[in-house]
């Protein structure tokens, strides 16, 4: 049975999507069967892996909203072996409002993923930068939460709200939800600020913080425009090495 993780931080631009794509790709390279789920209406994981949103007939939107829908129709293979994706579509932006009418609106994604969970080792859900119904669906469907934090000023801003949301979902809807780990991203070792933020985040989250820190690396920002993960775009870059190391640490931690 696969394990699912919500990559969650309601702040935008902290490295959620970059982590989703590249941690996923590195685990797939290690032979793990990985499914990426794009529940962010912006669809950056979808386009970052080379899928063209307006050309897709079956997406997560159909899977969430249609009754008795076979999710396999919305699963696409990527350029990377063992790496599959359920893409987002623009329709997803309307879903936040549409779904409010539906009974069991918080457990839609959990039910969708139940159809494919035993076909994968790891499922990663790329959350939107908000605390709305789509994010709640991700947290309800997840076994663990992965929190990327950008190494910059105000890094911990919003973290107490984030933890409250996780706590609420755990109490009301998903009692086994764990904080899997915190990933420090976009680290710039040349500044004192970067180092200070690392210390501060470690004080707050203790051993939940992954030892592997993701550096700022322009190749990571370039890769999505080619529709490739970093290991396919530039495997010798600092960014690729960091995500490979993170994948090793991840497997070790999760014991899979």
Question: Which residues sit at the interface with ligand ADP, rule CB under 6 A?
Answer: 12-18, 44, 129, 185-186, 214, 216-217, 220-221, 239
Compute the least distance from the CB of residue 127 to ligand ADP, in Å: 8
Of residues 58 and 185, the one with the C-beta less far from ligand ADP: 185
* Binds 4: which of Mg ion, ligand ADP, none (CB < 5-8 Å by kind): none
Residue 176 Cβ vs Mg ion, minimum distance, rounded to whole Å: 26
**Parallel, antiparallel, or unpaired: how do β-strands 83-86 and 34-38 relate?**
parallel
Comparison of 30 and 238: residue with beta carbon closer to ligand ADP: 238
Considering CB distances under 5 to 8 angstroms, the limit depending on partner class, which of ligand ADP, Mg ion, none binds residue 216?
ligand ADP
Q: Which backbone phi and psi does 115 adopt, to 5 degrees?
A: -70, -25
164 by Cβ neighbours in 10 Å (0-12 / 13-18 / 19+) ranks as exposed
Closest CA to 87 of 115, 45, 120: 45
Nearer to Mg ion, 148 or 215 (CB): 148
How far apart are CB 36 and ligand ADP at their closest, in Å?
A: 12
Contact of 111 with 66, CB cutoff 8 Å: no
The end-to-end CA distance of the chain, in Å, is 11
Q: How far is the CB of 118 from ligand ADP (least distance, A)?
A: 28
Report what 220 binds from ligand ADP, Mg ion, none; CB cut-off 5-8 Å by kind.
ligand ADP
**Residue 18: which of ligand ADP, Mg ion, none does it interact with, CB under 5 to 8 A by kind?**
ligand ADP
Say which entry of Mg ion, ligand ADP, none residue 189 contacts (CB below 5 to 8 A, set by partner kind).
none
* C-beta closer to ligand ADP: residue 40 or 143: 40
Closest CB to ligand ADP among residues 59, 185: 185
Comparing CB distances to ligand ADP, the nearer of 170 and 219 is 219
Which residues lie near Mg ion (CB under 5 A)? 16-17, 44
> Is residue 113 within 8 Å of residue 123, measured between CB atoms?
yes
Angle at 90 between CA 20 and CA 111, to 5 degrees: 60
45: closest CA among 58, 60, 31? 60
CB of 105 to ligand ADP, least distance (A): 24
- What per-residue string of b and e applies to 74-96 under the rule 16 or more CB within 10 Å gives b? bbbebebebbbbbbbbebbbebb
Nearest-approach distance from CB 105 to Mg ion, in angstroms = 22
Rounded Cα distance between 169 and 52, Å, is 33
Binding partner selected for residue 114 from ligand ADP, Mg ion, none, CB under the kind-specific 5 to 8 Å limit: none
What backbone torsions phi and psi does residue 108 show, to the nearest 5 degrees? Answer: -60, -45
Q: What's the min distance (Å) between Cβ of 6 and ligand ADP?
A: 13
Tokens of 229: 């993960």
């Amino acid at each position: 049975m696969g394990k699912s993780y919500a990559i969650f931080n309601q702040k935008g631009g902290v490295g959620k999507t970059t982590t989703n794509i590249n941690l996923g790709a590195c685990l797939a390279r290690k032979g793990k069967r990985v499914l990426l789920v794009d529940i962010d209406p912006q669809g950056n994981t979808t386009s970052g892996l080379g899928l063209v949103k307006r050309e897709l007939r079956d997406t997560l939107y159909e899977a969430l909203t249609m009754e008795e829908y076979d999710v396999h129709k919305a699963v696409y293979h990527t350029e990377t072996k063992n790496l599959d994706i359920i893409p987002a579509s623009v329709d997803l932006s309307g879903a936040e409002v549409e779904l409010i009418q539906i009974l069991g609106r918080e457990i839609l994604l959990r039910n969708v993923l139940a159809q494919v969970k035993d076909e994968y080792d790891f499922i990663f859900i790329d959350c939107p930068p908000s605390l709305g119904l789509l994010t709640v669906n991700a947290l309800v469907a997840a076994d663990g939460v992965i929190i990327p934090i950008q190494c910059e000023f105000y890094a911990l801003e919003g973290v107490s709200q984030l933890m409250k949301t996780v706590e609420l979902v755990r109490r009301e809807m998903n009692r086994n939800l764990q904080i899997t780990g915190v990933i420090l991203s976009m680290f710039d070792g040349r500044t004192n600020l970067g180092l200070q933020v690392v210390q501060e985040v470690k004080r707050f989250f203790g051993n939940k913080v992954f030892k592997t820190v993701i550096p700022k690396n322009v190749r990571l920002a370039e890769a999505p425009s080619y529709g490739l993960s970093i290991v396919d775009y530039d495997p010798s870059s600092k960014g690729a090495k960091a995500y490979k190391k993170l994948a090793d640490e991840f497997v070790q931690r999760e014991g899979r």
